[in-house]
């Protein structure tokens, strides 16, 4: 374990501008094809096409994002441009792959902020009139600050191994030769899926991270994080049950509101803070998180048929947003193609319009598609 820890943060090339990998467009095209095939292969007998990643939700909640009175001048862009601005939002908590909350897995949190003005990032990818009407800004996060593949080619290889082996350790240890082992990557993978570190007992008590970098306005590269405002935000319910996180989330929000601090970390190009390699954690000692807004989740019932249908039909994509929050780096470039293609694919198969949300109401039809 000491040897793995030693290799957790090797130095990477640090740039402030993006640099594409060789043959990147070809790799991304293959990832799109594989992601759509995965969605089709795992379509349930009832004809429901689920996400290829984070398909199992603990629940979705209404929320409100309130910008600080006087955020740092460097942070005033996009959602955070106007002090004291208040936005409605939807929040989705999820598992990375597993339908059983007792198994190790990545825990996710996605936020869809409503009514955000500004030029849209996906105006050329989907119907411009609908995207302009939606005016949403999405933030997609998981419960760990770094990813576990350094390049898109590595991720494609991991995807291939995972598709035939639910325990894809062959990616990290391809042979008995120690010099072929991916110790840096396996260190982060173990943390991403919760095999190492504190166990999540309630989605309201975990901290979530963007992993990848984003522009904030025209100049700064940043990462985002959501941290609970206080410890003990909720309580576990049936901690051994297969849906214990869903039960804990539902029980907590039925009794009391919850709160997260929205934090931003500025890139320091003089430190080991790359934008292309998401396996390198941006250390708080190099650049501390800055508080920019508060996410308030009011008391509510989330486990209803209508809410569960909305939760299934929503899609979250870091490219759903405004130009001031432009996603950067290889992971985000792949997301632009993969997320959009998968969302269109599953929405069309489920007979749900895309884009999926223009306001705070449920757009889902009452007669979803069935497998032919």
The upper half-sphere exposure of residue 30, i.e. CA atoms within 13 Å in the direction of its Cβ, equals 12
Q: Record the tokens describing residue 121, joined without a space.
A: 């990032």
Q: Record the tokens describing residue 28, joined without a space.
A: 């991304």
Q: Record the tokens describing residue 269, joined without a space.
A: 């190009």
| 100 within some domain | yes
pLDDT at 41: 75
Here the contacts of 43-49 (C-beta below 8 Å, separation 24 or greater) are 43/349, 43/371, 45/371, 46/370, 47/349, 47/350, 47/368, 47/369, 47/370, 47/371, 48/312, 48/350, 48/368, 49/345, 49/346, 49/349, 49/350
CA 74 distance to own-chain centroid: 24
What is the span of the domain harbouring residue 89?
A: 21-146+203-349
Closest alpha carbon to 223 in 170, 171, 280, 178:
280
Count the domains in the chain.
1
Q: What pLDDT digit, counting tens, does each position of 280-313 carry?
A: 999 999 999 999 999 999 999 999 999 988 888 8
| 38 within some domain | yes
Q: What angle do CA 157, 158, 162 make, to 5 degrees?
A: 120
In this prediction, residue 234 has a pLDDT band, given cuts at 50, 70 and 90, of low
Q: Record the tokens describing residue 175, joined without a space.
A: 């042979």
Whether the CB-CB separation of 299 and 290 falls below 8 Å is answered with: no
Average pLDDT, the chain: 85
Q: What pLDDT digit, counting tens, does each position of 318-330 carry?
A: 999 999 999 999 9
Q: Record the tokens describing residue 300, joined without a space.
A: 């509510």
Here the contacts of 238-243 (C-beta below 8 Å, separation 24 or greater) are 239/201, 240/102, 241/101, 241/102, 242/99, 242/100, 242/101, 242/102, 243/58, 243/101
How far the first Cα of the chain sits from its last, in Å, is 50
**74-89 burial code (b ≥16 CB/10 A, e <16):** ebbbbbbbeeeeebeb
pLDDT above 70 for 358: no
| 354 within some domain | no
CA 166 – CA 246 distance, rounded (Å): 23
| 39 within some domain | yes
pLDDT at 361: 45
More confident residue, 58 or 367: 58
| 372 within some domain | no
| 130 within some domain | yes
Q: What are phi and psi of 153, to 5 degrees?
A: -65, -40
Name the E strands within the chain: 56-67, 86-95, 107-113, 137-142, 208-209, 213-216, 220-228, 258-266, 290-297, 327-328
| 164 within some domain | no
pLDDT at 267: 97
Kindly report the CATH number assigned to the domain that includes residue 287: 2.40.180.10
| 104 within some domain | yes
pLDDT at 235: 61
Whether the CB-CB separation of 113 and 120 falls below 8 Å is answered with: no
Q: What pLDDT digit, counting tens, does each position of 37-87 carry?
A: 887 777 766 677 778 778 788 999 999 999 998 768 889 999 999 999 999
Q: For residue 175, give every residue at least 6 positions away whose Cβ sits within 8 Å of its Cβ, in sequence order, or none.
A: none
């Amino acid at each position: 374990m000491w040897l793995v820890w030693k290799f957790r943060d090797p130095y990477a090339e640090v740039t402030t501008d993006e640099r594409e990998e060789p043959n990147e467009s070809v790799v991304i095209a293959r990832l799109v094809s594989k992601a759509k095939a995965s969605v089709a292969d795992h379509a349930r007998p009832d004809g429901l096409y689920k996400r290829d990643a984070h398909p199992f939700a603990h629940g979705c909640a209404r929320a409100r994002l309130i910008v600080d009175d006087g955020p740092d001048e460097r942070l005033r862009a996009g959602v955070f441009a106007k002090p004291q601005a208040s936005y409605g939002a939807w929040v989705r908590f999820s598992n990375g792959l597993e339908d059983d909350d007792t198994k190790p897995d990545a825990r996710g949190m996605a936020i869809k902020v409503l009514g955000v003005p500004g030029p849209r990032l996906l105006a050329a990818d989907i119907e411009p009139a609908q995207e302009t009407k939606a005016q949403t800004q999405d933030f997609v996060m998981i419960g760990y600050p770094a990813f576990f593949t350094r390049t898109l080619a590595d991720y494609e290889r991991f995807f291939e191994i995972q598709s035939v082996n639910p325990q894809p350790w062959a990616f990290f240890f391809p042979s008995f030769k120690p010099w072929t082992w991916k110790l840096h990557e396996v260190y982060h993978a173990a943390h991403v899926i919760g095999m190492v570190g504190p166990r999540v007992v309630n989605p309201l008590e975990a901290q979530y991270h963007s992993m990848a970098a984003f522009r904030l306005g025209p100049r700064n590269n940043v990462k985002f994080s959501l941290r609970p405002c206080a410890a003990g935000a909720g309580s576990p319910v049936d901690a051994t049950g297969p849906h214990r996180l869903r039960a804990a989330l539902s029980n907590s929000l039925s009794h009391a509101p919850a709160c997260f601090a929205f934090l931003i970390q500025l890139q320091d190009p003089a430190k080991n803070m790359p934008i292309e390699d998401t396996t390198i954690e941006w250390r708080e000692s190099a650049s501390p998180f800055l508080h920019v807004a508060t996410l308030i989740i009011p008391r509510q019932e989330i486990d209803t048929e209508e809410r569960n249908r909305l939760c299934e039909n929503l899609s979250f994509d870091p490219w759903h947003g405004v130009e001031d929050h432009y996603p950067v780096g290889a992971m985000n470039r792949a997301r632009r193609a993969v997320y959009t293609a998968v969302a269109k694919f599953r929405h069309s198969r489920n007979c749900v319009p895309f884009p999926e949300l223009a306001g705070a109401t449920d757009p889902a039809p009452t007669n979803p598609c069935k497998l032919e």
